[in-house]
Structure 1
């Protein structure tokens, strides 16, 4: 049996998943308990839990989480609404690829954070500039990844559809899009993580709410336990979004490998 063909049982898989979390947590606890690192720089898991519970009890955590989720939801939704149709056109139409890919390929190498001064000048320091930064950080990569997925649709499916007399528009919506949809969702999973990175960056500048804003406030007073607590929350929310997208992909794309 080849190495890549080997599999583990469901029970073993769950044990390995648990160990992937418990082992780093145990190492963290051991390091903080050893006294080798100042608690100001590396608080214990118990201290982080207490800080998170304190922020939740006073309502700070929930209000900041709602603010960040609102920006993520709007910015990511706009990026998807732009990138998926554009990427689909680039993947399905050679002329669209030739027209759009050079510009998008150039823009994706420009750091989105470098646009912050311009966004503040153009849109001010309110919500619009923060949402725009999210869109810029996601839209170009998601467009190119969507185009790659569409281009991987097997040519035999297109040939069979043409042989059966299907028109191009019907082939696009009844064959190409359903086949590519699981891959499009996979691209969204990857870029959802990027969206979280950019929302934190956006909230570090001229914000009065959000998880990134709360990290900045905690940094001013060396409240590293609060910083760690917020990072844990971001990781858990990101994991939940990833799981939801995985479930969605599994439900609508059972035929995909």
Structure 2
């Protein structure tokens, strides 16, 4: 009987021991494939660089071999030569500076006005009930559709282009900020009220500290939208900026200039995103696992 009991005990423990052995013996490479599992930084960097190298290799194969006509897709060498010509002969650095100014002017105005409004909408239902129907309706209207009205109302100067960036980012920024604020845990608010904190004291000491990390990520996301709207702003009635250069190059069938302009906007947007990403991680390190 004692032998039978031992066998039964071993049989009952076998699945648990098997599960523990699988967990303890799981290679790290398998853990890297699990959902939301972190991977070593050097591996992350290597994979990221590999994706760029593969894309560049495919591009080179298609262009240098003559599979694709240079009119539709120039070689990397032609793109680099076009970039050098734009900087040395056509003052492309001035176009870059103008584009950066327009993007950040419109975006910063949207942030200065949109953040307080979004915070109030996420905090007070009365404010949300008043503004949310209007803002939600306008959010679905493309900014490019307002260009004829902006030209009629404002003209074709700098303010018209800045206004396009503002309209393209403001309404989504307000709603996404309101969502972040409204997602603050109710238990935190009740604890603050129990301690005798006033309404605006709760907003200042509880809601804002809890919501700011998410709000900053929202700002980072909306900044990417601002870079996408700059082309729309500069393609219409503009004599300067990267968008204007792209339009002029299209008229003269200079595909290499078009691609270089697009790559420049992508590089500027990526640089601003990386700077903001690093700043957010430095300000709120507790929100990130690494």
TM-score, structure 1 normalization? 0.96
Instruction: Find the counterpart in structure 2 of residue 21 from structure 1.
Output: 52
Of 5-14 and 94-103, more deviation after overlay is shown by 5-14
1:246 aligns with 2:277: yes
Kindly indicate whether residue 155 of structure 2 is the aligned counterpart of residue 124 of structure 1: yes
Match of 1:32 among 60, 63, 68: 63
After superposition, the CA RMSD in angstroms is 1.3
CA distance in 1, matches of 2:285, 2:196: 27
* TM-score, normalised with respect to structure 2: 0.85
Which residue number corresponds to residue 214 of structure 1?
Answer: 245
Within the alignment, does 1:63 sit opposite 2:79 as a pair? no
Alignment partner of 2:40 out of 4, 9, 19: 9
Match status 1:44 vs 2:69: no
Task: Please list every run of 5 or more consecutive structure 1 residues that lacks an aligned counterpart in the other structure.
Answer: none
Deviations 1:36-94 (A, max 9, x none): 11111100111111111211123522000011011011100011111111110110111
Aligned-pair distance for 1:205? 0.7
List 4+ stretches of structure 1 deviating above 6 A: none
Which moves more between the two structures, 247-256 or 10-19? 247-256
Does the Cα contact within 8 Å between 1:138 and 1:194 map onto a contact in 2? yes
**Partner residue in 2 for 1:188:** 219
Tell me how far apart the structure 1 counterparts of residues 244 and 56 of structure 2 sit (CA, whole Å).
26
Q: How many residue pairs end up in the alignment?
A: 257
Q: Structure 2: which 5+ runs fail to align?
A: 1-22, 24-30
**Which of residues 158, 164, 178 in structure 2 aligns to 1:147?**
178
Query: Higher relative CO (CA 8 A, sep ≥ 6), structure 1 or 2?
Result: 1
Please report how far the alpha carbon of residue 256 of structure 1 lies from its aligned counterpart in structure 2 after TM superposition: 2.5
What are the within-5 Å matches in structure 2 for residues 47-196 of structure 1?
A: 47-58=78-89, 60-196=91-227
Contact in 2 for aligned 1:181/1:253 (Cα 8 Å): no
Cα distance in 2 for residues equivalent to 1:115 and 1:142: 18
d(CA) in 1 for partners of 2:39 and 2:282? Answer: 23
After TM superposition, the structure 1 stretch with the greater mean CA deviation from structure 2, 83-92 or 51-60, is: 51-60
2-structure distance, mates of 1:87, 1:158: 18
The whole-number CA distance in structure 2 between the counterparts of 1:175 and 1:252 is: 17
SS in 1 for 2:193: helix
Q: 1:68 to 1:94 in 2, by over 3 A?
A: same
